[in-house]
Amino acid sequence: MAKLFSAEWMNELKDAWNNDPEVSGKLAEIGFDSVITCGFKDQEDPVGVFVVEKGICTRAGSWNGETPDWDMRADMDDWLKWVKKGIGMMGMGTAYATGKLKFKHGDYAAMIKDPRMAGPFVKSFNLMKDIGADELS
């Protein structure tokens, strides 16, 4: 299993994303373009990057200074819990409301109110469960 947010892991997530019509297909329908980064709340910079063009992830790997449209942060324990157990819409809302999931960039409230984005967003988190992860060292 690859380490969480490593280039290898991000590319496994890219493949899972692109192969899931409920994520890539639904986002392609609305022409979703975005640079998505992720990492840890206690770090200044993100760890991984995910570039999406018209719903399809065209590049994924280690963050290399890209400017994010979305930058999601959580503690390692929370990321690993979501990787292991997945998360639904209610769990996502709770994680955001309690500060377990933070957005340094991006408007979570606007996104979650738009069903064209909310469903694929939650589904993308559950793709992490499908690929699993090891803790970063």
The answer to the question of residue 65 being in a domain is yes
- Residue 134: pLDDT band with limits 50, 70, 90: confident
User: The domain spanning residue 84 has which CATH number?
Assistant: 3.30.1050.10
The answer to the question of residue 135 being in a domain is no
The answer to the question of residue 58 being in a domain is yes
This prediction has a pTM of 0.92
The answer to the question of residue 1 being in a domain is no
The answer to the question of residue 2 being in a domain is no
**Could you give the C-alpha distances from 114 to 68, 71, 121, 134, 137, in angstroms and in order?**
20, 18, 10, 32, 36
The amino acid present at 101, given as its one-letter code, is L
Tens digits of per-residue pLDDT, 59-118?
Answer: 999 999 999 999 999 999 999 999 999 898 899 999 999 999 999 999 988 888 898 999
Q: How many domains does the chain have?
A: 1
The answer to the question of residue 82 being in a domain is yes
Domain encompassing residue 107: 7-129
Contact call for residues 66 and 35 (beta carbons, < 8 A): yes
Indicate if the pLDDT at residue 23 is higher than 80. Answer: yes
The answer to the question of residue 78 being in a domain is yes
